[in-house]
Chain A
C-alpha cells in the first residue's frame, strides 16, 4: 500500500525531471549563471 502511494507521488516528479533533462540540453546555455553538468551517458 505504502509502495503504491510512493509510486503515485514520485512518478510524476521523476517524469518531469527526465523531461526537463531531455529538453534542457538543447539550448546553448540556461538563462541563469549556473550550468549543471549534463548527464554522462546522454550526450
Chain B
C-alpha cells in the first residue's frame, strides 16, 4: 500500500536534495510518480 502514498517518494527526493545536494532531475522515478497525480487533479 505504501507504494501508492506520495510521501514515500517525496522523502527520497527530500533526503537527496537536503543531504546529497542533488536536484529533482536526479530523481525521475519519484518525480514521475508525483507529477501524474498533479495532472490528474485538474481533470
Q: Do A and B come from one complex?
A: no
